[in-house]
Amino acid sequence: MDQIRIGKFIAESRKSRNLTQRQLADALSISDKTISKWECGKGLPEVSLMLPLCVALDITVNDLLSGEKVSSTDYQKKAEGNMIDLMKENEENRKRMALSIITGVITVIAVCALIVIASLIDLPTIARIILIAFSVAVAAVGIAAAAMLEMKAGYFECPYCKELFVPNMDEYVKGYHTFTKRRLTCPKCGKIGMCKHRVTR
């Protein structure tokens, strides 16, 4: 999906209806910064906003996702292509999420097994220490891999303005988190909150 093209098309459609970014934003109950972000090609409207946006701009969702007015002869073909692109994006995110969970589970099992071996089997002290050091290393690598995959899978949702965003690595690693939420700074409203992880848009 070509975000730059879609952004330009949003700007064109807005201007042709003599709407300012502010007016369009008000019609959608969102901030004008979000409109500006879309128009600069830095992100797509989330699915729940697509229809109201298209109504406000008097275009179809198919036009929006194609980044141009789609002629009726191309309509079906473009619509299918756009739908598949959206599905692919969601599917990739789901795969990453599943892989992240699998990596996490394997890590926990491996570390538990190593600790059981280290404590139950009669080993010289040095072997025991090496085994424990090794299990700590396995845990670190496993957790890092699971976290990387999880970060790349989907978006985090700001609890205040509902913005969807991908955090940077630094903030992601430092953020306090529960199983489904993470403490992050919203790039749109600037507030810090427990952001819910969402795999799909």
Binding of residue 160 to Zn ion (CB under 5 A): yes
Contact criterion met (CB below 8 Å) for 198 and 164: yes
User: By CB under 5 A, is residue 165 in contact with Zn ion?
Assistant: no
The reply to whether 158 sits near Zn ion by the rule CB under 5 A is: yes
The distance of closest approach from Cβ of residue 180 to Zn ion in the complex, given in angstroms and rounded to an integer, is 18
If the CB atoms of residues 21 and 62 are measured against Zn ion, the closer one turns out to be 21
By CB under 5 A, residue 153 contacts Zn ion: no
Which residue among 149, 186, 195, 197 contacts Zn ion (CB under 5 A)?
186
Near Zn ion by CB under 5 A: residue from 14, 96, 182, 188: 188
H helices of 121-154, in order, are: 125-152
Q: Dihedral of CA 61/154/24/19: which sign? A: negative
Q: By CB under 5 A, tell whether 192 contacts Zn ion.
A: no
Q: What order do you get walking across the sheet with 155-157 strand by strand?
A: 164-165, 155-157, 192-198, 181-185
Report residue 177: phi and psi, to 5°.
-150, 155
Give the type of residue at 3: Q
Chain residues that interact with Zn ion, rule: CB under 5 A? 158, 160-161, 163, 186, 188-189
